[in-house]
Amino acid sequence: MKNIYEALVEIMGERGVSNRPEEIWFYGRDPGVLPPHPPDYVVAPETTEQVQKVVQLANREKIPVVPMGNGMALTGLVIPLKGGIVMDMKRMNKILEVNEMARYVVVEGGTSQGMLKAHLRDHYPRLRHSLPDAPPTTTIAANVSLHGQGCLTQQYGFNSDMVSGLEVVLPTGELCKIGSPSLGPYWFSKGPSLPDLSGLFLGWLGTTGIFTKVGLKLYPNKKIREMEIFVTDKAELVPEIIYKLTHLEMLEDLIAWFQPKPLMFKDNYHLTIYFTGDSEKEIEFKRTMIWDALQEFIDNKDGGFMNVQAMKPNLMENPQRGIAAFADVPRGGGFEYSGPITLIELYPQFAAKVVELAEKYDVIYSSAARVISGGHSMMFSISFAFNRADPAMMERVKKALDEATEYALKMGGIPWKPNYMEQKMTMDHMDPNTLKLLRMIKKNLDPHGIMNPGNWEPAP
């Protein structure tokens, strides 16, 4: 394989390629529970041309290519299951254009969420994007490639719904623009009113191409952001509470969560309700509407608004640093979650399942469900923390997560950012004709199966 290395150096320069043991070791794993697998090379492109050339080389030589952001999907999606080249996209981190009036931004394929946030705050304070609660080093391209969700998902849908154009290096090396940028200079639509080709890439976990540019819709950044937390002890009331709240059409973000520790959270379900306004008047009006919407639960003593003063500084952070902190609960640097997309009415069943799994496998749980597009569905996270120095605990977490996914599928849910085994389970559940279509698309786009192989790889 020496000549491959040299060919890569020729494309990337010395600074852009590594086959040294340290990079090979590091880029062969992610922070989740799946076992590592080493790549043969790691590359870190700075230009689209480099991406193209590497993919062309890989396609010619039939070498796997795995695009990687910050590796924080946790489900092994950037572990090179079949070796080959891991492509760290993070050096392509420019913010290329903000169209303030049309409210969109164009970023490179490795631009991080954090940098976009800072850029907008500095230069476009009237605009914001749908930040996920993932660490700010995670990338926008990766997030849309796995249908992520962020703080504006309750209002506007999956973060991938907010894509407003793409530039993709196809598995055969051609560069392809998707949506309005394929016709002119503007990045305002990923598809409509054309056939929406973005569906060939969004949600494919890097198996059908590599995003080198992403157009992303931006939204009004109101001057004031506020929050309340409603608490109930009955899981079966959560769907109705969410229904009443989403009916208001006034919320920014809505998250239902429960966890056994610290003790104050025990036995309760919490709904963190975010809302925004440009004036105190607007905020107070919305707050009043929110209180009124849930008054009947208060009257029945089924729930109430808790004092949020102490928690507010943490919960108002965007992204919330505290979420990552779950990884250190067992003093061990790890957590992973299964996050099926499912119906909100199934909340009580899923909630019960989390507790059941945690007991069965003796692991520490927490769960947060983010409401998606006004209540059409939710991402229900089933999170388990583990201690990286305790392989047995990691194994238990793995089993618990597998069982969670099986359950989600049984309940008619869709696994989110599934690992390769969960993808297999999903495909096993899928309507055969749908699967056939999926296979056909993948085969046509990636004839040699080089793109993130092992993922969305239907058995022939």
Partner 1 sequence: MGSLKFDENVCATCPSADCLIKCQYMDFEEDEAHNEMMKIVKGLDSRVLHDCVTCYACEEYCRRGNHPFYLIGERREEKGIYTASRAITNQWINLTQMQGKPMVGTVKDKALSSCFIPDLGALGSGELFKEVFPAVTFGAEFMCPAVHTHFAKMSVVKERLPKVMENFKKLGVKEVICLHDECYGTYTSIAQAYGMEVPFKPVYYMDFLLTRLKELKDRIIPLNIKAAYQRPCSNRLIPHKHRLVQEIMDYIGVDMPGRKYQGENSLCCAEIIRSVAGYKLADDIQGRNIDDMLEAGAEYCVFNCPACQSSLSEKVSKKGLKPVHIIDLCKMAVGEKGREG
Partner 2 sequence: MEYARQIEHADIVHRCFRCGYCKFPEDYVDFNCPSYKAFGWDTFSPGGRMWLIRAWLNKELETSPHFSRILYSCVACGNCKDQCVYPRFKDYLLNVFEEAKAELVNEGRIPPEVRDYFKAVSVNGNPYKQPQEERGQWADGLGLKEFTDQEYLFYVGCVGSYDEVGQRMARSVGQLLSETGVSIGILGKEETCDGHEVKVLGETGLFTALAEENIMKFKKKGIEKIITLDPHALNVFRKDYPKLRGNFEVFHYTEILSQLIRNNQIPLSNYQAKVTYHDPCYLGRHNLILEPPREVLKGLPGIELVEMRRKGLSAFCCGGGGGNFFTDMVGSGENNPARIRIKEALDTGAEIVAVACPQCAKMLDDAIKSEGQEDWLEVLDLSELVNRVRSK
For residues 87 and 65, give the distance between their C-alpha atoms in angstroms, rounded to a whole number. Answer: 7
Asked if 191 and 198 touch (Cβ cutoff 8 Å), the reply is yes
**Using the rule CB under 8 A, which residue among 234, 244, 312, 388 binds partner 2?**
388
For residues 51 and 100, give the distance between their C-alpha atoms in angstroms, rounded to a whole number. Answer: 29
For residues 351 and 242, give the distance between their C-alpha atoms in angstroms, rounded to a whole number. Answer: 15
The helix or strand, by DSSP H or E, that contains position 48, with its residue range, turns out to be helix 48-61
Residue 303 touches partner 1, criterion: CB under 8 A: yes
Number of other residues whose CB lies within 10 A of the CB of residue 292? 11
Task: Lay out the site mask for partner 2 across 234-263 (x = CB under 8 A, - = otherwise).
Answer: ------------------------------
CA angle 5, 74, 459 (to 5 degrees): 70
Asked if 109 and 213 touch (Cβ cutoff 8 Å), the reply is yes
Q: Which is nearer to partner 1, 269 or 361 (CB)?
A: 269
Q: Measure CA 149 to chain center.
A: 6
User: Using CB distances below 5 to 8 A depending on partner kind, what does residue 109 bind out of partner 1, ligand FAD, partner 2, none?
Assistant: ligand FAD
Write the single-letter amino acid at 225. R
User: Using CB distances below 5 to 8 A depending on partner kind, what does residue 136 bind out of partner 1, ligand FAD, partner 2, none?
Assistant: partner 2
Q: Which is nearer to partner 1, 243 or 291 (CB)?
A: 291
Number of other residues whose CB lies within 10 A of the CB of residue 333? 13
Residues 211-270 within binding reach of partner 1 (CB under 8 A): 231-233, 263-269
Q: Which is nearer to partner 2, 76 or 179 (CB)?
A: 76
For residues 337 and 400, give the distance between their C-alpha atoms in angstroms, rounded to a whole number. Answer: 10
**Using the rule CB under 8 A, which residue among 2, 3, 14, 22 binds partner 2?**
22
Residue 4 touches partner 2, criterion: CB under 8 A: no
For residues 152 and 112, give the distance between their C-alpha atoms in angstroms, rounded to a whole number. Answer: 17
**Using the rule CB under 8 A, which residue among 60, 121, 123, 247 binds partner 2?**
121
Residue 334 touches partner 2, criterion: CB under 8 A: yes
Rg (CA), the chain: 22
For residues 98 and 96, give the distance between their C-alpha atoms in angstroms, rounded to a whole number. Answer: 7
Q: Which is nearer to partner 2, 121 or 266 (CB)?
A: 121
In angstroms, what is the minimal distance from the CB of 348 to ligand FAD? 23
For residues 36 and 26, give the distance between their C-alpha atoms in angstroms, rounded to a whole number. Answer: 9
Give the interface size with partner 2 as a residue count (CB under 8 A): 45
Q: Which is nearer to ligand FAD, 30 or 226 (CB)?
A: 30
User: Using CB distances below 5 to 8 A depending on partner kind, what does residue 388 bind out of partner 1, ligand FAD, partner 2, none?
Assistant: partner 2
User: Using CB distances below 5 to 8 A depending on partner kind, what does residue 57 bind out of partner 1, partner 2, ligand FAD, none?
Assistant: none
User: Using CB distances below 5 to 8 A depending on partner kind, what does residue 444 bind out of ligand FAD, partner 1, partner 2, none?
Assistant: none
For residues 228 and 209, give the distance between their C-alpha atoms in angstroms, rounded to a whole number. Answer: 41
Asked if 248 and 274 touch (Cβ cutoff 8 Å), the reply is no
**Using the rule CB under 8 A, which residue among 21, 185, 432, 460 binds partner 2?**
21
In angstroms, what is the minimal distance from the CB of 394 to ligand FAD? 16
- Identify the three-state secondary structure at position 342: strand
Q: Which is nearer to ligand FAD, 168 or 283 (CB)?
A: 168
Residue 434 touches partner 1, criterion: CB under 8 A: no
For 126-153, the DSSP string reads TEE----SS-TTSBHHHHHHTT---TTH
1 to each of 8, 27, 61, 63, how far by Cα in Å? 11, 19, 10, 11
- Identify the three-state secondary structure at position 238: helix
**Where on the chain is the footprint of ligand FAD (CB under 6 A)?**
66-74, 77-78, 89, 109, 132-134, 138-139, 141-143, 145-146, 148-150, 205-206, 210-211, 323-324, 452
208 to each of 176, 249, 455, how far by Cα in Å? 12, 36, 10
Q: Of the listed pieces 84-92, 226-234, 419-427, 429-437, which binds partner 2 according to CB under 8 A? A: 84-92
Task: Lay out the site mask for partner 1 across 270-299 (x = CB under 8 A, - = otherwise).
Answer: ----------x------xx--x---x-xx-
In angstroms, what is the minimal distance from the CB of 49 to partner 2? 17
- What are the tokens at 195? 């056939």
Number of other residues whose CB lies within 10 A of the CB of residue 394? 22
Cα atoms in the 13 Å half-sphere on the side-chain side of 385: 19
Q: Which is nearer to partner 1, 148 or 303 (CB)?
A: 303
In angstroms, what is the minimal distance from the CB of 180 to partner 2? 29
**Using the rule CB under 8 A, which residue among 136, 239, 277, 375 binds partner 2?**
136
Contact residues: partner 1, CB under 8 A: 231-233, 263-269, 280, 287-288, 291, 295, 297-298, 301-307, 309-310
Contact residues: partner 2, CB under 8 A: 15, 18, 20-23, 25-27, 31, 42, 44, 70-72, 88, 90-91, 112-115, 117-119, 121-122, 135-138, 321-322, 324-325, 327-328, 331-335, 387-389
